[in-house]
Every structure is written in structure tokens, then in C-alpha cells.
Chains A and B, each alone.
Chain A
Amino acid sequence: MIPMIDIRNAEKTFVMHLQDGIRLPVVRNVSFHVAPGECVVLSGPSGAGKSSILKMIFGNYRCDGGTIGVRHNGDVVDIATAEPREILGVRRDTIGYVSQFLRAVPRVAAIDVVAEPLLAAGVTREEARARAGALLKRLNIPERLWKLPPSTFSGGEQQRVNIARGFISDLPILLLDEPTASLDAANRAVVVELVAEKKRAGVAMVAIVHDDEVRHLIADRLVDVASFAAAAA
């Protein structure tokens, strides 16, 4: 099986110029792959660099060495060296990302926040809204909130809007950063179901999950990030 994500010897160091140029090595020799329909969960203590690895795959953090191969429209794109335009294309057609926190735009209604990735993919506004509504309903966001901007929502509600936004499109790769962190048991179960559906659809996923029960339910394989820890040189 050709992997959807193939990371080899990726590394990341932060250089903090405002703190006398101190170097903070984050990860080194990161190597793993993810097949279609597989959910790989990154494990390791907090601070080990799990979120940094997700951000590097998404092209949000730059990669200082190695390669991050991603299958995109039939080709392999190396995110570590791709041009900004290529990364935008990868984000439009290939990689979805559910971050820990919703970064909402003022004034935009929850339903439109969720529908936006579909609109970007060329789906009509009516259909996008209908699918967004169905997903919000599944995640137990009451209909009376749909027209409100999520900045007014509780933390758990915001996270569910964020999850809906991440799961709505049909992208072949999904990155999940603590998708169940502030959810109650009922909504955690919905997320587990959504992940299972994505697997059946052949989506390759990389997730960070602290909840042991959820991890047990969604992980096909664990990758221990502690082994990638970059010792301070």
C-alpha cells in the first residue's frame, strides 16, 4: 500500500532571537508513515513535540531537515520544501486540520464557519449549509446557535464547531489535535464515530489524543514521539 504520508528524518528547532538566540530543539529523526484508512496516534508526554509534528505536516511550522512526503492529486509533494502555492493547494485538496482551538472570524455565523471548506471546494452554498447543519446537529449544537458567531459559544461548543469544520470535507488526510479534549462523553462518542466513518472512506489520519479510552477506540497504531526527542545539542 502506498502511504498517504511518508515522513523521513524530519527535524525542527526553534531559534529565539529575542532570547539571545537560544536554540530550542523540538524533534529530530521523525520518521513514520500513514496508509489510507489508517489512524496513527502520536503518543508521548506533553512537550515532546506532538503538536509541532502535526503543524509541520500541515505546513504551518517550517521543517528544518528531512522530508514530509504527502500524496496530493496523484503526485508526492514534499511539504518541507514546497512553495507556498503548493501548500495552499495541498490544504485545499488534500489535508484537513482540526486544531485544538477554534480561531473564529468575527461576525461569521457558526454554520458558515463549518460550510466554508465545502464552498472552497466548489460545493453550492445551499448544499454546503445543509451538510454543515446536519453535522452540527450530530454534534449536538442546537439549531438556534447556528446563525451566531461561535466567539459567543462555550469552549466545548466552539470545539464541536471546529470539529464539524474539520470533518465536513472529503479530504484524503486529516490531522486531529486533541479533538475530544473539552467534550462530554456523548460528544466524544460522536467524534469516535466520525473517525470510524473517515477510516471506512479511506482517509489517512494522524491524531493527538490524551483520553486513553478514545485513543484505544481510534488508534490503529501508536507512534511514540519521545523517541524523536531532540536532545539539546
Chain B
Amino acid sequence: MLDVTANSTAPGAGAGAAASDEPLLVAANLGKSYGRLAACRDVSFELYSGEVLAIVGESGSGKSTLLQILSGQLTPNTGSVSYRMRDGVTRDLATMDEAERRFLFRTDWGFVHQDPAMGLRMAVSAGANVGERLMAVGHNHYGKIRDTATSWLERVEISPERIDDAPRTYSGGMRQRLQIARNLVTEPRLVFMDEPTGGLDVSVQARLLDMMRTLVSELGLSAIVVTHDLAVARLLSHRVMVMQGGRVIETGLTDQVLDDPREPYTQLLVSSILPA
């Protein structure tokens, strides 16, 4: 657990600054069951441009299932996810074909996995990992791709001298930063993050969180971050949704939910934080 309570230093910059009145993403009545087990039920919310939403709850609360549905990797049994495309048209993910969804995933969206090995190609160079996403959107000038990759490595505090090394030679924290660079190089508008600071040392977490916070506010990104760590939610998000047993039981401004929790389960979560 990080001792990073940042009520007055939450990343308030992005939200609303350039926000359109139309939400970027709308989830309506999402539900998903596995046999008799309901992994998530009746989840509805709107995400606006520049907003960072944290989904918190313990293991098994349905937050990872929800993230998979929101990012189009899992089809819900009920409800829909709509996304406002770059051309301003809002589309229902279910009506897109596979090629359209893949294109969205490669360009306008990012997905940061807890395990960097899931989001990186471990055997190819760091430069190629970052460059690959650029090539996928049509860049083909080798020198320019390499320059862009170099500048992104610097942005995530990886020495450009390591550009030709494969991520399997990197430490856990470096791999996670490389994964973030790979995701952000195409300038996505929405990034999904699944326990982004998961298996990292506390000191490495602090550095990563600070970096993510800066990038999110500088780029005006929207993000949906799944985390069981309330300190991560406090530091990164504007709003929080608390999940329990597949349902959203409490939602609001992050500092409001964490400082004035209403629901019994939220009070339990907040009171369970060990003081550092």
C-alpha cells in the first residue's frame, strides 16, 4: 500500500477542460453471467472526455469482467457499450465488425495489462514494440518511427540506449513503462488499465503512478482504471465506482467516496487500509 493520499492534488486538470457535452463512452445496463454466476449486473455509467474513472473492489467483484466488456473483448449478455468515434459519431460496439473493433483497439484505444508480458512482445526490441503500433496505423518511414519511439522511451523514463534491447531484459517497472509507451504512441483518446501497478515494488509503483498521472493530464486522456488499491484510485482518478458481487454499489467523486464513504462495504474497504 502506498501512502499517497492526494485529495488536493488529484489530477483535476484534464476533466472538463476540453470536454465535449457528449460522453465519450456510455455503458448501459451491462450484465454478464457465467452459468448461474452473475459476474456483473446492471452496470450503467457515462465517461466524458478527459475523465479518469477508477473501478475498485476486491477480487471477484466483477471489475475485470466489466473492463473486458467495456473494451469490446467480451460480449455482454445484456446491455450495450457505445463509443464516440473520432468523427463524432457514437457507435454501439456490438454493431461493429471485428476489423473495425481491432482498428479502434490499435488506434484510439490503449489497454495496459497488469502483466506487461501480455501487452508486449517480449522477444523483440523495445523500439519495435513501440514502433509496431505506429506501423499498424500506416507509418512506414523507418527513421521517423525510430525517432518517435526514442522520444516515447524518454517520456516514460527509459534510456534510449536500451531501445534495441528486448523487454525480457528489462525490470518489471521498466516493462510496465514500456507497455504504457507502446499504448500511448498512437495518441489514443481512451486507455483501459487493469491493475497497472499490480505486481510492482512500492517504490516502483510510486514512480509509475506519478508518470501516469502526468501523462494523463498532459495528453488530456480519458481512462478507465481497474484497481483494488484505493491509493491508486485516489492518485489517478476523478471519479470512482465501487463494485461488490458484480454490482456497482457506490459511485462519486474519488475524494468524496474515499473520505465520506456511505455504503457498508465501501466503509469497510476504506477502513481496511493499513497506515504506512
Contact = CB atoms under 8 A, between A and B. Distances in A.
A84 B262 CA distance: 16
A163 B96 CA distance: 51
B271 A18 contact: yes
A120 B13 contact: yes
Contact of B16 (A16, A59, A85): A85
B179 to A, nearest CB: 20
Contact of A103 (B8, B12, B19, B209): B8
Given A62-B256, A84-B253, A107-B206, A92 B16 contact: yes
B46 to A, nearest CB: 9
A87 B207 CA distance: 29
B261 to A, nearest CB: 9
Contacts of B252: 62, 84
Contacts of A105: 4, 6, 9, 210, 213, 235
B93 interface: no
A89 interface: yes
B256 A60 contact: yes
B206 A106 contact: yes
Interface in B150-181: none
Interface in A96-113: 97, 99, 102-108, 113
A116 interface: yes
B73 to A, nearest CB: 27
Interface string A1-43: 0000000000000111110000000000000000000000000
Interface in B3-29: 4-9, 12-13, 15-17, 19
B260 A61 contact: yes
Interface residues of A, number: 33
B6 A103 contact: yes
Contacts, number: 91
B229 interface: no
Nearest to A119: B13
Nearest to B252: A84
B210 A85 contact: no
A59 B267 contact: no
Given A17-B263, A106-B210, A87 B253 contact: yes
A113 B6 CA distance: 11
Interface residues of B, number: 36
Interface string B249-276: 0001101100110111001100100000
B195 interface: no
Contacts of A113: 9
Contacts of A120: 12-13, 17, 217
A30 to B, nearest CB: 16
B194 interface: no
Contacts of B262: 15, 62
A59 B259 CA distance: 11
Contacts of A62: 252, 256, 260, 262
Contacts of B210: 105-108
Contacts of B206: 106-107
A206 to B, nearest CB: 16
B263 to A, nearest CB: 7
Contacts of B6: 103-105
A199 interface: no
A61 B256 contact: yes
18 contacts: A17-B267, A60-B7, A60-B253, A61-B256, A62-B256, A62-B260, A62-B262, A85-B48, A88-B16, A88-B253, A91-B12, A99-B8, A105-B9, A106-B4, A106-B209, A108-B9, A116-B9, A120-B217
Sort A-B residue pairs by CB-CB distance and give the 8 closest, nearest first.
Answer: A17-B264, A120-B13, A106-B206, A84-B253, A61-B260, A88-B15, A89-B16, A107-B210
